[in-house]
Amino acid sequence: MPAASASPLRFRDPGHDKYHFASSGTVLVRCPRCERQAQVVPEPRDAGSATPTWSTERRLVCRHCGLSRKRDRTRPIASYWYGNPEMNDPYFQAPLWLQTRTRHGLLWAYNPEHLDLLRRFVQATLREHDPWYEPWRKMGTIGRLPAWIKQAKNRDEVLRGLDRMRESLVS
């Protein structure tokens, strides 16, 4: 992955809906067997055809312990945040790998691309017009972020949290 841009002042919201990062690619999770970094990936036979969606079959795979688990299709795909001490992936309900607690709340990301988008958003200082509050944006990945992530006074702490998450990717 390329390093973060050196000129982060402008942030362009790609307009992803809130499911984009969970449904279109790999989700990093904590392995339910060995607690190291594992991945929830679209099944290969589906992944080749088109952009994966919610209904694409998933498998939880761990290169550390060799776990390879197919999703139990009788369990609903569910993505909850509020009220949970940890954020889980929507397919296996395994804890997301990329999550960290701050004084204000939980920061989390489904994968490095999601983390990078959050970082670019928080680093961008030109938010005086707050277009993220435009109604049509509210349902998107960025628009739905809790207010404390968007507040300038929390910026440094949020960035530190995002840094911790990025460092955890090295393992």
**Alpha carbons 69 and 93: distance in angstroms, whole number:** 13
Q: Find the Cα–Cα–Cα–Cα dihedral 77, 29, 41, 166, rounded to 10°.
A: 130
Pick between residue 36 and residue 104 the one whose CB is nearest to Zn ion. 36
Nearest Cα neighbor of 39 from 13, 14, 58 is 58
Pick between residue 33 and residue 164 the one whose CB is nearest to Zn ion. 33
What is the closest distance, in whole angstroms, from the C-beta atom of residue 13 to Zn ion in the complex?
Answer: 35
Pick between residue 38 and residue 162 the one whose CB is nearest to Zn ion. 38
Binding residues for Zn ion, per CB under 5 A? 31, 33-34, 62, 64-65, 67
Reported as half-sphere exposure (CB side, CA atoms, 13 A), residue 72 has a value of 7
Q: Which two three-digit tokens encode residue 147?
A: 């207010």
What is the closest distance, in whole angstroms, from the C-beta atom of residue 94 to Zn ion in the complex?
Answer: 10
What is the closest distance, in whole angstroms, from the C-beta atom of residue 67 to Zn ion in the complex?
Answer: 5
What is the closest distance, in whole angstroms, from the C-beta atom of residue 16 to Zn ion in the complex?
Answer: 29
Q: Which residues pair with 68 in a beta bridge?
A: 61
Pick between residue 18 and residue 33 the one whose CB is nearest to Zn ion. 33
> Which CB contacts under 8 angstroms, 24+ apart, belong to 59-62?
60/29, 60/31, 60/32, 60/91, 60/92, 60/94, 62/31, 62/33, 62/34, 62/36, 62/37, 62/38
Pick between residue 67 and residue 124 the one whose CB is nearest to Zn ion. 67
What is the closest distance, in whole angstroms, from the C-beta atom of residue 15 to Zn ion in the complex?
Answer: 35
